[in-house]
């Protein structure tokens, strides 16, 4: 691993300093847009840590050019190890009072950091979240709704919205402490966010869509279904396990969230049956769904019960009929 600066940028300590960590891997078409949106923030007291994760395109060279243009930029290069490790590397280099994560193909509104830092300071918070939009949506609508929620209310909302992304929050560095991302996890954000919420007494929320999510660039989470994605069902299990000390409503939502995720994998294995020719994984998932249905939560969804009581051949036929019905409806709508 190498670092391409002799010293850390001088930060004016009259205002809290912010370390912005950007893991970079083969993001050349979007990287300049991303970093410029950070550099153009109305909040200036920050360092921008670009962690090149062994890119094979022009990303690293772009990082070095950007570094020359702004003294707040720090470039770190590492062998390819994944975004979890890249974020951890950024945390190890960070010197700011607060931490933000931005993905290298995304961008942010110029007022994001100033608004969020001010909200944190005014309300003595350790973490604040903002809304988001995407590159394929119009961004002329502003929702200025803000509130502060307890740990349980925050967890309840996040489970409902499946809102785990770390890049839409700013964290007090002391809150993160020695917490790090788990290498190799597809849904690494779920584990990190759950752990953060369990450390914070409350969370701030600013609904304004400051974060601009890029829908142009395909990632592993948007790629075709595969066995690596099946392994990611450990994320909703972590949510379920870590909320067992919460109130009944949160525990019920966590169980429902787990069942929905299991059903999603179950259904995908029927449409990708070549991945599970002997029904090994479908048997396992069916057993896990049944175990959740045994719990005293209001989670008896129609499809969960259908998965529980239907033999594999029948469930597969039902899925095909549903898919055919949707296809016909779409054809009729296009007329």
Domain locations in the chain? 2-220, 224-334
pLDDT surpasses 90 at 63:
yes
Q: How confident is the model at residue 141 (pLDDT cuts 50, 70, 90)?
A: low
pTM of the model: 0.89
Is 142 within 8 Å of 68 (Cβ atoms)? no
CA distances 191 to 23, 171, 216, 303, Å, are 18, 15, 26, 27
pLDDT at 142: 55
Give the pLDDT band of residue 2 (cuts 50, 70, 90): low
pLDDT bin (cut points 50, 70, 90) of residue 11 is: very low
Q: Once rounded to an integer, what is the mean pLDDT over residues 257-268? A: 96
Q: Do 98 and 171 touch, CB atoms closer than 8 A? A: yes
| pLDDT average, residue stretch 71-92 | 97
Q: What pLDDT is stored for residue 10 in this prediction?
A: 47
Long-range contacts of 264-270 (CB under 8 A, 24+ apart): 265/229, 265/230, 265/233, 266/307, 267/319, 268/225, 268/229, 269/230, 270/315, 270/316, 270/319
- Beta-strand ranges (E) seen in the chain are 2-3, 18-24, 46-53, 73-78, 98-101, 107-108, 127-134, 146-150, 169-172, 202-213
Rounded to an integer, the average pLDDT of 63-88 is 97
Q: How confident is the model at residue 130 (pLDDT cuts 50, 70, 90)?
A: very high
How many CA atoms are closer than 13 Å to the CA of 320, on its beta-carbon side? 10
Tokens 């051949």 -> residue: 313
pLDDT at 60 over 60: yes
User: Which residue do the tokens 């007090």 mark?
Assistant: 172
What is the pLDDT at residue 12? 47
Query: What whole-number distance in Å separates Cα of residue 268 and Cα of residue 226?
Result: 9
CATH superfamily, region 2-220: Spore Coat Polysaccharide Biosynthesis Protein SpsA; Chain A (3.90.550.10)
**pLDDT value at 317 more than 50:** yes
Q: What is the mean pLDDT of residues 75-87?
A: 97
Burial 286-316 (b: 16+ CB within 10 A, else e): bebbeebbeeebebeeebbeebeebeeeebb
What is the DSSP-derived secondary structure letter of residue 97? S
42 Cα distance to chain centroid: 25
Confidence of residue 13 (pLDDT cuts 50, 70, 90): very low
The rounded mean pLDDT for the chain is: 91
> What integer is the mean pLDDT of 243-258?
95
User: Which pLDDT does position 220 carry in this prediction?
Assistant: 45
Lowest mean pLDDT among 33-42, 153-162, 226-235: 226-235
On the question of pLDDT at 266 being above 80, the answer is: yes
User: How high is the pLDDT of residue 3?
Assistant: 59
């Amino acid at each position: 691993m190498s670092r391409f600066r002799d010293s850390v940028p001088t930060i004016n300590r009259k205002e809290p300093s912010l370390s912005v960590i950007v893991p970079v891997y083969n993001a050349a078409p979007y990287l300049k847009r991303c970093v410029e949106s950070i550099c153009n923030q109305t909040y200036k007291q920050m360092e921008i840590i670009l962690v090149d994760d062994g890119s094979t395109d022009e990303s690293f060279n772009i990082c070095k050019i950007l570094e020359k243009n702004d003294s707040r930029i720090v470039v770190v290069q590492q062998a390819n190890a994944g975004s979890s490790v890249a974020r951890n590397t950024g945390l190890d280099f960070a010197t700011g009072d607060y931490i933000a994560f931005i993905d290298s193909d995304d961008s942010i509104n110029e007022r994001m950091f100033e608004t969020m830092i001010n909200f944190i300071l005014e309300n003595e918070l350790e973490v604040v979240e903002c809304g988001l939009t995407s590159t394929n949506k119009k961004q002329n609508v502003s929702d200025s709704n803000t509130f502060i929620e307890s740990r349980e209310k925050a967890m309840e909302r996040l489970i409902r919205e499946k809102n785990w992304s770390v890049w839409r929050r700013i964290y007090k560095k002391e809150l993160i402490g020695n917490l790090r991302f788990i290498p190799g996890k597809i849904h690494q954000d779920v584990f990190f966010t759950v752990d953060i919420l369990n450390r914070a007494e409350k969370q701030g929320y600013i609904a304004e869509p400051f974060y601009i999510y890029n829908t142009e660039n395909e990632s592993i989470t948007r790629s075709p279904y595969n066995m690596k994605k099946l392994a990611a069902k450990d994320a909703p299990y972590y949510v379920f396990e870590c909320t067992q000390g919460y109130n009944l409503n949160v525990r019920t939502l966590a169980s429902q969230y787990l069942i929905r995720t299991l059903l999603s994998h179950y259904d995908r294995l029927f449409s990708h049956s070549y991945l599970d020719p002997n029904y090994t994984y479908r048997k396992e998932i069916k057993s896990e769904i049944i175990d959740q249905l045994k719990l005293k939560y209001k989670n008896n969804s129609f499809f969960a019960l259908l998965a529980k009581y239907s033999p594999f051949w029948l469930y597969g036929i039902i899925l095909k009929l549903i898919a055919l019905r949707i296809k016909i409806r779409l054809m009729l709508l296009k007329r």
